[in-house]
Structure 1
Amino acid sequence: MKIEILGSGCAKCNKTKKFVEEAVAQAGVDAEIVKVENMDDIIAYGVLITPAVVIDGDVKIVGRVPKVDEVIEWITQ
């Protein structure tokens, strides 16, 4: 599983990455977590507001920090 955190490195983007890492650890899922900061790559997903989370190419959330429970739900389905 590949999880991408889209964002420039702002506080919300860093918090999103932290929450995703916590969710992966709690769920015991094997996942590659990648921080994407290049705006061209972010826009390629159709994302104009960060932070955003992409799981295996599927945009899950845009413009807000997800809760750890939300991320666990996405990665365990």
Structure 2
Amino acid sequence: MKHIKVFGPGCKRCETVMQMVRDTAAELGISVEVEKVDDPRAIAMAGVMSTPGISVDGMMVHAGGLPDPEKLEGWLRQ
């Protein structure tokens, strides 16, 4: 199971990213646990300067804006 964290204050883009992760994982048949991190201190400690940020199994893979769907697939397949 992949552990995904989505870092952001709860904006519409953050919610969209969470849904993108869930939808993509379901399409690929990959089991994921998606955690929303909205604490400003935790976001800063993770090094996210622009939200939403995404980490996969503890590795930061994206920050700022919506991720490219093909890149998201690649991160989930790793």
TM-score over 0.5 (shorter chain): yes
Q: What is the TM-score with the length of structure 1 in the denominator? A: 0.92
Letter aligned with residue 27 of structure 1: L
* 3-state SS of 1:50 partner: coil
Question: Which runs of 5 or more structure 1 residues have no equivalent in the other structure?
Answer: none
| Displacement of 1:27 | 1.1
Letter aligned with residue 47 of structure 1: V
* Whole-angstrom CA distance in 2 between matches of 1:20 and 1:68: 9
Corresponding residue of 1:73: 74
Corresponding residue of 1:24: 25
Corresponding residue of 1:58: 59
Deviations 1:3-40 (A, max 9, x none): 00101111111111111111111111111111110111
Percentage of matched positions with identical amino acids? 29
Corresponding residue of 1:42: 43
Q: What is the TM-score with the length of structure 2 in the denominator? A: 0.91
Runs (4+) of structure 1 exceeding 2 A deviation are none
Question: Which runs of 5 or more structure 2 residues have no equivalent in the other structure?
Answer: none
* Whole-angstrom CA distance in 2 between matches of 1:68 and 1:29: 15
